[in-house]
């Protein structure tokens, strides 16, 4: 697998909504009704939280 470049990683950060805390991120997922499919992670680039899609079914 190709590793994401720094540019791609920055994009992944700037294109996403940022949340001040994990709770904020999960609240937003809850409101959108997608909490089962999202997980919050702490972004190393901006130090805030983003929501990430959970992979269903492993592999
Ligand atoms: Zn970020």
Residue 34: Cβ within 10 Å count: 13
Give the position of tokens 């994990």: 22
Centre of ligand 1 from the C-alpha of residue 57, in Å: 26
Overall pTM surpassing 0.75 (yes/no): no
For residue range 16-29, list pLDDT tens digits in order.
Answer: 999 999 999 999 99
pLDDT over 70 at 48, yes or no: yes
Q: How far is the CA of 15 from the centre of ligand 1 (A)?
A: 9
Measured CA to CA, the distance from residue 52 to residue 25 in angstroms comes to 10
Separation of first and last alpha carbons in the chain: 14
How far, in Å, CA of 28 to CA of 17, rounded?
Answer: 10
Distance 59 CA to ligand 1 centre (A): 26
Distance 45 CA to ligand 1 centre (A): 5
Residue 52 vs residues 4, 11: alpha-carbon distances, Å: 15, 14
Q: How far is the CA of 19 from the centre of ligand 1 (A)?
A: 9
């Amino acid at each position: 697998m190709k590793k994401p470049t720094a540019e791609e990683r920055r994009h992944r950060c700037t294109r996403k909504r940022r949340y001040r805390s994990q709770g904020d991120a999960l609240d937003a997922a809850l409101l959108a009704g997608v909490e089962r499919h999202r997980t919050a992670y702490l972004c190393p680039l901006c130090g805030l939280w983003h929501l990430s899609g959970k992979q269903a079914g492993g592999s």
